[in-house]
Amino acid sequence: MPVNKKIRELQEKREKVLLGGGEQAIEKQKAMGKRTARERIMALLDENSFNEYDLFVEHDARDFDMDKKSLPSDGVIIGSGTIYGAPVAIFAQDFTVAGGSLGLMHSRKITKIMDHALKMRMPLIGINDSGGARIQEGVNSLAGYGEIFFRNTISSGVIPQLSVILGPCAGGAVYSPALTDFVFVVDNISKMFITGPEVIKTVLGEEISMEDLGGARVHCEITGNAHFFALSEEECFDQIKKLITFIPWNNGQKARMFEPAEPKPEYNINKIVPEDPTLPYDVKDVIRAVVDNSDFFEIMQLYAKNIVIGFGRMGGRTTGFVANQPLEMAGVLDVDSSDKAARFIRYCDAFNIPIITLVDLPGYLPGVDQEHAGVIRHGAKVLYAYSEATVPKLTVILRKAYGGGYIAMSSRHLRADFVFAWPSAEIAVMGPEGAANIIFRKEIMSSDDPDGMRKQKVEEYKTKFANPYVAASRGYVDAVIEPSETRKFLMHSIEVSENKDVSMPRKKHGLPPF
Amino acid sequence: MKENDKLGYLNIDTSLYKTRISEKFQNRKSYKPADPRIILSFIPGTVLDILIGKGQIVKKGEILMILDAMKMQNKLKCIMDGKVKSIAVKKGDKVSKGTVLLELE
C-alpha cells in the first residue's frame, strides 16, 4: 500500500472513532446542556495542546451479546496537554458511548493515564460523566474501579488530582472524586450519590429528585463533598484553569511565581474590623487588603461559611489562607468548619504552599448536636493539621482569640513560625463576660448590686486581659503590629521562610483523627 | 458586608455576637432523652412480621418483630420486661430509621 493510502486509512479510522457514540447520541448530550467529552477537553486545555492516546482501544467483552457491539474508544478519552503552559494528564468519560459506562478497557485507559501522570509528576484531571459500572462486564467493572481508587490514593499528595463532575457519577464511581484533592460541580448537570432516588424509593418509600439528593448545590452547601460550584461548564473550566495557576505541578515543586502586585486601594485595612469584638465584618475584605491585586480565590465558598479558605499571592508567591469569618456564626469552630480547614491545611502542607491564618473567633460552637456529631474528633483535626504542617505558618490575630480556639488557630504552641497581633487583639482564656462571671462569682453574688458589680468586673477583666500584650510578654506573639503594617510583615516573613527546613520524627504515617 | 444582611445573635460564653445564623443551626433538633419504652426502627426497612399483640406481656429477649432490611431478616428483640401498650406499624409497612414501631408500658 502506498504511504498516502496508509495515511488516509488512519485518517478514516480516526474520523470514525472521533464521532463517539454517533450523531444521535451527541444530540441527546447537547439537549441536556452538556458538551461532548472531546469538546470539554478542548475547552479546558490550551489550544492545540492535546495529545490523545488509546484512541483505538476496544472492549473484549463477550457475554450478553457484547461481542456484537462496538464502543468507540470504549467510552473514555485520555491524553495530556497544557493549561496556561502547565502540563496536565486528563481523562474524560464519553456519555455518548454506552452512557460512559465503565468496563475493563475503559478503566485500563483511565489507569494508564493515571500511571502516566504519577510517573511524570504532573497534575491529573478527571472529567466524570458516566452511568456507572458496565453491568455486562460484571466483576471486571468492579476491578476497574478498584484499580482507579488505588491509584487515586497512592498519588494523593504527590500530584494534584482534580475531579470534574459533568453528568451522573453514582454508586462506587463517586469514590474516585472523593479521593481526589478538589471536586468541581455544575448546577443541574452534576449528580453524585451512592444510592440513587429509585433505590431510596423502593427501600424506604421516600421520594426525592436527583438534584435534591446529590446535585451540585447539595454537595457544595450540605455535604462538603464538592469544592467549586459553577452555573455552567464554561464557568467551571475557568475555575479549574485559575486553580491550576495557584498550585505546583507536584509535591517536589513550588507553585509558579507571578509578577507581584499591590492590593487595590479600595480595601482599606484600617476600616474593616469594628472595635467591638461582638460586631461582624467580612474577613475576606481583610484578605483582599493584603494579597496581590486583591485577588483571593476562595475554595468551598458555600460550605461551613464560618471559616474561609482559599489561595492568594503574596509578592507573586501562592499562599493559602485560613480565616475565621465573624460574619457567619460569629466565626466559631464547629464540626464542619474544622473538617474544611484541616483538609485545606494538609493540602497546602503537601504541596509546599505557605499558610497564613487570620484569627478572630469566640471559640467552639456549643450544643448537643455538635458534641454528638463528634466535635472533639473533628476539632482535633485542626490541631493535628497545623501541628504536622512544616510549610511556613504565619498567624495574624485580628481580634478575638479565646480559649481552645486560640490554640487551634495556628498558635505559637503548634509551631507557627510567625505570630502577629493587631492592637485590637484579645488573647485570653475566654471572653470577658464569661471569665468575669467565673473569677468574680463570689463578689458578684454577694454584692448589693450584682449587675453593676458584674459590669464593673467585666470592665476590669477587659482592661487587664483582653489585649495582645499579656501574650506578647511571654513571646507567644512575635510582634504587635498596626493593621497597615500587615502586608509588609507577612511578605517579609514569607520571604525569609523560603528555605524553611524542619524535620519530624520518623514514622510510617501519623494517625490523624479521621 | 451588605446593608441588607440578615443578622441575628449567637451566644458564646455569655457574650452575644451579632452575626448571620446558618440554616443548619436554626434547624438543629433540640435534644430529647431516649425513652426505653418506645421502640424505634434502628435501620430503614420493611416490617416482615409482627410476633406480638397489643396488651401482651413480653419478656426481655423476646422477639417482637422481623424487620427486612439490607437483604437481611433482622430480629427485633425486647430489651426489657413489659406489656405492649400499642403497635404503631402493620405487616408490610416500609419504615425509615427512627420510626416508632411499638410502645411498651
Convert A194-254 into a string of H (helix), E (strand) and C (coil): CCCHHHHHHHHCCCCCHHHHHEHHHHHHHHCCCCEEECCHHHHHHHHHHHHHHCCCCCCCC
CB A286 within 8 A of CB A272: yes
CATH class of B38-104: mainly beta
Tell me, yes or no, if A256 comes closer than 8 A to chain B by beta carbon.
Answer: no
Matching CATH topology for A3-246 and A269-427+467-496?
yes
* C-alpha distance across the termini of chain A, in Å: 63
- Domain A269-427+467-496 fold: 2-enoyl-CoA Hydratase; Chain A, domain 1 (3.90.226)
Is the Cβ–Cβ distance between A136 and A62 less than 8 Å?
A: no
Per-residue burial over B68-94, b if 16 or more Cβ lie within 10 Å, else e, is: bbeeeebebebeeebebeebebeeebb
Are the beta carbons of B19 and A282 separated by less than 8 Å? no
- The span from the CA of A6 to the CA of A231, in Å, is 45
Which residue type is seen at A261? A
Q: Which amino acid makes up residue A308?
A: V
From chain A, pick out residues whose CB is under 8 angstroms from the CB of B15: 277-278, 362, 431-434
**Pairwise CB contact (< 8 Å): A278 & B22:** no
The model's pLDDT over A468-506, given as tens digits with 9 standing for 90+, comes to 999 999 999 999 999 999 999 999 999 999 999 999 999
CB contact under 8 A, A434 and B21: no
Please provide the DSSP assignment of A452-493 as one string: HHHHHHHHHHHHHHSSSHHHHHTTSSSEE--GGGHHHHHHHH
Q: How big, in percent rounded to 5, are the helix, strand and coil portions of chain A?
A: 45, 20, 35
Rounded mean pLDDT, A141-158: 97
Please give, rounded to a whole number of angstroms, the shortest distance from the CA of A192 to a CA of chain B: 21
Averaged over A157-167, what is the pLDDT? 98
Chain B residue numbers touching A335 (CB-CB < 8 A): none
In the numeric block, the cell 449528580 is attached to A191
How far apart are alpha carbons A209 and A33 in whole angstroms? 18
Residue A97's pLDDT band, with cuts at 50, 70 and 90, is very high
Please state the rounded mean pLDDT for residues A77-92. Answer: 98
**A430 vs A143, more confident:** A143
For residue B79, what pLDDT band results from cuts at 50, 70 and 90? confident
Domain ranges across chain B:
38-104
Q: Does A205 touch chain B (CB under 8 A)?
A: yes
Dihedral sign, CA of A98, A101, A104, A109? positive
Cell of A155: 498519588
- Residue-wise pLDDT for B31-69, tens only, equals 888 888 999 998 888 999 999 999 999 999 999 999 998
pLDDT digits (tens, 9 = 90+) for A366-399: 999 999 999 999 999 999 999 999 999 999 999 9
For chain A, which residues make up each domain, given as ranges?
3-246, 269-427+467-496, 432-465
Q: What residue type is assigned to position A213 of the chain? A: L
The CATH H-level superfamily of A3-246 is 2-enoyl-CoA Hydratase; Chain A, domain 1 (3.90.226.10)
From A129-143, A279-293, A321-335, the region with the lowest mean pLDDT: A129-143
Closest in A278, A280, A366 to B1, CB measured: A280
Residue A342 carries which DSSP code? H
Cα separation, A387 vs A376, whole angstroms: 16
Name the pLDDT band for A72 (thresholds 50, 70, 90): confident
For chain B, say whether A504 makes contact (Cβ under 8 Å). Answer: no
Task: Answer whether residue A252 shows pLDDT above 90.
Answer: yes
User: Strand pairing partners for B11?
Assistant: B16
